[in-house]
Structure 1
Amino acid sequence: MSCGGDGGGGCCDGHSHVDASTDQSSRYCLHQMIDTENLQCLNESTPGSCKLVFRPWSERLSSDSFVESDCDEELLFNVPFTGVVRVKGIVLIGGEAESRPTKIRLFRNREFMTFDQAGAEADQEIELCPDPNGLIEYSLKPTKFGSVSHLSIHISSNAGGETSRVHYIGLRGDFIEPFRSKVVLANYEIRPQASDHQAGSDSIESGFNQTAASK
């Protein structure tokens, strides 16, 4: 499934501007591919509030939906997908004034990271500009995020506040394939194999012959 073309005018600092005159929902559609049941965010003040920020682009300006950090400025989103995706770009609307995140660190395919693990080298780090309308897209490295089953987003700093707030995260990219291989493997392991029956028969026959010989 494709979530739209690249579009947008490139900037020297690695971001592009989204055309607000047209509906961009078809481009920022990877929220539909998130395994929402297992989506989590560490250090969120309200449990489960992280699930509210991954929503359609047309609903990005809703001020009622947000996640806020608890004891400091850091947040760590662990975002599992329902299959393999290619993530091309990210849009983030932060809180006002000092609660606005200023830097995110992205990791691919490191399932359910902790803050200790987030101290490792990130696959990409992005300095965020003020963007209250969600019109700045940051491009992700194709070589790093071309095949992603799990995306971790670490908000490591903000504009100086005690806590950070995020209202919206939009992900642009393509859905490549579901996790079919795991299902096939599971079915194969559960289904009885002819070799298993043969081995069982040989064992029974061998045990019978040994018993008969002892008599």
Structure 2
Amino acid sequence: MAPHGKCCGDTNHQHEDPERGIQYGLYTKINLNDLECLNETVEGSGKTVFKPWEERLNRTNFVESDADEELLFNIPFVGNVKLKGIVVIGDSSDSHPSRMRLFKNRESMTFDDVSIAADQEFELQKDTEGLIEYATKIVTFNNVNYLSLHFPRNFGAPNTTIYYIGLKGEFSEAHRHGVTICNYELRPNMSDHKNPLDDNVNQPLA
């Protein structure tokens, strides 16, 4: 009998730490309608890897690269994010990504844009359970409203497979500036625009 009385029977099952789930809750702050994943085999599949921490071991939904091993995610947030860490779950095979490059606040990147220097890069290890966290440079990723993740290669397979991407950090609402309403004068008051040359004029022209 399982010590907690309720278990899934999976030898890889881990009893969840509620605090960990809260820490990796930034997936709820992603604007999924505008999220892009370039070079995905199935359209829209890249969005499915951003899910609750408790579902990270679910292999039902995943994204697989198409033409080659590269994947590029363009992730817009609905506010400002302080990104502290990332978890990437892949397959135990060579399709697991082996490198990850992060770009901050560069909207709608393409593969033509990734030749520029990344804001941070990681050499990845194979992780099938979400045990490895890659800590970001908080000073750099302190005010993020758009994040791009580039996976340029894997461990040698023709295509890359990712089951879960966890984003750890803090969220704050975007500052919304009110619309400034300006009342413009249709007929200027000449006394407000006095010309020194008109000092001897008693009355302005109508």
TM-score by length of 1: 0.78
Deviation at residue 42 of structure 1 after TM alignment:
0.5
Question: CA deviation digits over 1:65-116, x for unaligned, max 9?
Answer: 1011000000000000001110000000012311100100000000111111
Say which of 62, 67, 70 aligns to 2:63: 67
Partner of 1:22: 17
Deviation at residue 151 of structure 1 after TM alignment:
0.4
Q: Distance in 2 between matches of 1:145 and 1:95?
A: 28
Partner of 1:96: 92
Question: CA deviation digits over 1:92-147, x for unaligned, max 9?
Answer: 00123111001000000001111111111000000111110011111000121011
Partner of 2:41: 45
Q: Distance in 2 between matches of 1:48 and 1:21?
A: 28
Contact 1:77/1:152 (8 A) holds in 2: yes
1:112 partnered with 2:108? yes
Letter in 2 for 1:153: L
Larger Rg belongs to: 2
Contact 1:75/1:156 (8 A) holds in 2: yes
Contact 2:88/2:162 (8 A) holds in 1: yes
Count of residues in correspondence between the two structures: 176
Deviation at residue 155 of structure 1 after TM alignment:
0.2
Q: Distance in 1 between matches of 2:154 and 2:175?
A: 36
Letter in 2 for 1:22: D
Partner of 1:168: 164
Q: Distance in 1 between matches of 2:153 and 2:15?
A: 28
Q: Distance in 1 between matches of 2:62 and 2:92?
A: 12
Taking a change above 3 Å as real, the CA distance of residues 33 and 21 of structure 1, as seen in their structure-2 partners, is closer
Letter in 2 for 1:122: A
- Structure 1 unmatched ranges of 5 or more: 1-18, 204-212
Contact 1:20/1:135 (8 A) holds in 2: no
Deviation at residue 21 of structure 1 after TM alignment:
5.3
Letter in 1 for 2:137: K
Question: CA deviation digits over 1:3-41, x for unaligned, max 9?
Answer: xxxxxxxxxxxxxxxx96523211101101101110011
Contact 2:91/2:126 (8 A) holds in 1: no
TM-score by length of 2: 0.81
The alignment yields a C-alpha RMSD, in angstroms, of 1.7
Q: Distance in 2 between matches of 1:179 and 1:161?
A: 44
Q: Distance in 2 between matches of 1:179 and 1:101?
A: 36
- Provide the secondary structure at the position in 1 that maps to 2:17: coil
Q: How does 1:79-158 map to 2 (within 5 A)?
A: 79-158=75-154
Identity %: 45
Letter in 2 for 1:201: R
Say which of 201, 205, 211 aligns to 2:187: 201
Q: Distance in 2 between matches of 1:55 and 1:136?
A: 17
Contact 1:68/1:166 (8 A) holds in 2: yes
Q: Distance in 2 between matches of 1:46 and 1:21?
A: 30
Choose between structure 1 and 2: higher strand proportion.
1
Deviation at residue 176 of structure 1 after TM alignment:
2.3
